């Protein structure tokens, strides 16, 4: 058994949401938050070094909202949604691909293009077409369209619509670049110390920005080994499609897929926000749907073609306190012939929780980890509360653990 560490040092995202929601035109940013982000980056550096020193085979986890202004991350996430919608407009055939001809036609229709020659536009297209197929898919489109390019495109829009409105301005672009630079610096350190780094999932309205950053880093650092792990929350309805997209992207571009799978931690807030703002809830309709998505996602990752071919390991952390999900994952491993010690499958539970799962896994030769949150009590405690909400069966698990301990105590006393 080993450990991985997460520092709870995110901003009060609720306060930022309350302050900026509905007033995008103001776009005011408190530069004191940049100072806090730099301080948080230093703490994350300490966490990475701690993993290297204490548990070399462990993980370190970071939160993107601790390294960039949450209001800005929400803005960039909204921009990415509009970028995806622009892709759909440009995809005339509706087949999820943009050809060079479609790209040129859409550009001429949507943008003032005097500054862009035919050759220049072909060059731009080739930057999107990362796998050289002559077509652009949605992930290539959204993950390549950096804030700088979106800003330049927005300035040349023939009509000032949602895309132009969503584009980050110069100040926001600079701040986003600062955020990315902080994260990349941590990844470089993790690479130097040979520590695996997990990027935590957060609220759904931050997640497009987080996914965009993670994919960019995975392209660079997951070529020879699975350095960066993304986190997928299975209580979101979009998870099946998103996991499929990310697996396909790694297959096409030739880097290692790596993921932590959780159920999700912001259900109450997400549903209330959807209700307040009048959009469909992103959360699964029932807990049964969430369980099914979790088990389906774990199986999909373990059985993906790269694992079957032997070109990549499973590279998945099954992070759960749910005994059925653990047992299900072990069964998939057995059925697929995945070795407990070398397949790249790991299991994780919070320190002090579900020891009746963690220790037997470790004793049986599986890669079992304890997740260690640390930081100020006013930030760690809400984190632990969210974990309890995420695992609605956790209290039942506590009762089960107590019964197991009592039974073992009786067994040991019986000879006397």
Q: Where are the domains of the chain?
A: 10-58+70-218, 222-376+385-416
Beta-carbon contacts of residue 59 (< 8 Å; ≥ 6 apart): 4, 5, 51, 195, 196, 197, 198, 229, 317, 369
CB 379 within 8 A of CB 350: no
- 80-101 pLDDT, tens digit each: 888 888 888 888 888 889 999 9
Residue 325 to residue 331: CA distance in whole angstroms = 10
Q: Of 163, 203, 229, 177, which Cα lies nearest the Cα of 70?
A: 203
Which pLDDT does position 350 carry in this prediction?
Answer: 85
Sign of CA dihedral 234, 240, 244, 245: negative
Which pLDDT does position 17 carry in this prediction?
Answer: 38
Which pLDDT does position 115 carry in this prediction?
Answer: 66
pLDDT mean over 403-412 = 59
* Number of other CB atoms surrounding residue 162 within 10 Å: 13
Name the band, by pLDDT with cuts 50, 70 and 90, for residue 15.
very low
* Number of other CB atoms surrounding residue 35 within 10 Å: 10
Name the band, by pLDDT with cuts 50, 70 and 90, for residue 127.
confident
In whole numbers, what is the pLDDT of the chain averaged over residues? Answer: 85
pLDDT mean over 386-405 = 57
Helix, strand, coil share (%) of the chain residues, nearest 5:
60, 10, 30
Which pLDDT does position 394 carry in this prediction?
Answer: 47
For the domain 222-376+385-416, what is the CATH code? 3.20.20.220
Name the band, by pLDDT with cuts 50, 70 and 90, for residue 67.
very high
Residue 101 to residue 176: CA distance in whole angstroms = 32
Beta-carbon contacts of residue 161 (< 8 Å; ≥ 6 apart): none
Name the band, by pLDDT with cuts 50, 70 and 90, for residue 18.
very low
Task: Check if CATH label 1.10.238.10 holds for domain 10-58+70-218.
Answer: yes
Is the predicted pLDDT of residue 6 greater than 50, yes or no?
Answer: no
CB 301 within 8 A of CB 259: yes
Which pLDDT does position 407 carry in this prediction?
Answer: 65
Which pLDDT does position 297 carry in this prediction?
Answer: 98
Which pLDDT does position 129 carry in this prediction?
Answer: 87
Residue 172 to residue 27: CA distance in whole angstroms = 8
CB 148 within 8 A of CB 173: yes
Q: Of 106, 2, 89, which Cα lies nearest the Cα of 358?
A: 2
Global pTM? 0.84
Is the predicted pLDDT of residue 8 greater than 80, yes or no?
Answer: no
Establish whether domains 10-58+70-218 and 222-376+385-416 are of one fold: no
CA distances from residue 254 to 13, 219, 306 in whole angstroms, order as listed: 36, 8, 10
Report DSSP state, residue 235.
T
- 189-231 pLDDT, tens digit each: 999 999 999 999 999 999 999 999 999 999 999 999 999 999 9
Residue 85 to residue 163: CA distance in whole angstroms = 8
pLDDT over 70 percentage in the chain: 83
Is the predicted pLDDT of residue 300 greater than 50, yes or no?
Answer: yes
């Amino acid at each position: 058994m080993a450990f991985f560490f997460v520092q709870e040092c995110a901003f009060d995202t609720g306060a930022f949401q309350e302050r900026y929601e509905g007033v995008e035109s103001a776009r005011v940013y408190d530069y004191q938050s940049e100072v806090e982000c730099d301080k948080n980056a230093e703490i994350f550096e300490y966490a990475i070094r701690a993993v290297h020193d204490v548990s070399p085979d462990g993980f370190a986890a970071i939160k993107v909202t601790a390294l960039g202004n949450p209001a800005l991350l929400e803005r960039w996430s909204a921009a990415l949604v509009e970028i995806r919608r622009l892709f759909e407009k440009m995809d005339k055939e509706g087949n999820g691909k943009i050809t060079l001809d479609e790209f040129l036609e859409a550009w001429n229709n949507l943008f003032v293009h005097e500054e862009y020659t035919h050759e220049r536009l072909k060059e731009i297209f080739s930057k999107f077409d990362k796998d050289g197929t002559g077509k652009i898919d949605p992930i290539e489109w959204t993950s390549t369209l950096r804030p700088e390019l979106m800003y330049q495109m927005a300035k040349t829009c023939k009509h000032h619509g949602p895309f132009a409105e969503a584009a980050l301005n110069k100040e926001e672009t600079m701040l986003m670049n600062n955020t990315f630079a902080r994260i990349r610096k941590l990844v470089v350190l993790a690479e130097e110390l040979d520590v695996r780094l997990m990027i935590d999932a957060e609220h759904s309205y931050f997640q497009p920005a987080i996914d965009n950053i993670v994919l960019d880093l995975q392209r660079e650092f997951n070529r020879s080994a699975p350095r960066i792990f993304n986190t997928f929350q299975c209580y979101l309805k979009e998870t099946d499609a998103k996991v499929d997209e990310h697996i396909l992207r790694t297959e096409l571009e030739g880097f290692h897929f790596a993921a932590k799978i959780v159920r999700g931690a912001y259900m109450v807030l997400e549903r209330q926000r959807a209700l307040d703002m009048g959009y469909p809830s992103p959360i699964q309709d029932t807990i049964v749907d969430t369980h099914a998505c979790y088990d389906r996602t774990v199986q999909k990752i373990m059985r993906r073609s790269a694992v079957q071919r032997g070109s990549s390991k499973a590279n998945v952390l099954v992070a759960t306190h749910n005994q059925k999900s653990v047992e299900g994952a072990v069964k998939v491993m057995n059925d697929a012939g995945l070795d407990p010690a070398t397949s790249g499958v790991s299991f994780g539970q919070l320190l002090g929780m579900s020891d009746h799962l963690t220790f037997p896994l470790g004793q049986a030769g599986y890669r079992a980890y304890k997740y260690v949150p640390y930081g100020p009590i006013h930030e760690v405690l809400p984190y632990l509360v969210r974990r309890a909400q995420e695992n609605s069966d956790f209290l039942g698990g506590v009762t089960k653990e107590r019964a197991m301990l009592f039974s073992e105590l009786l067994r040991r006393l019986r000879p006397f």
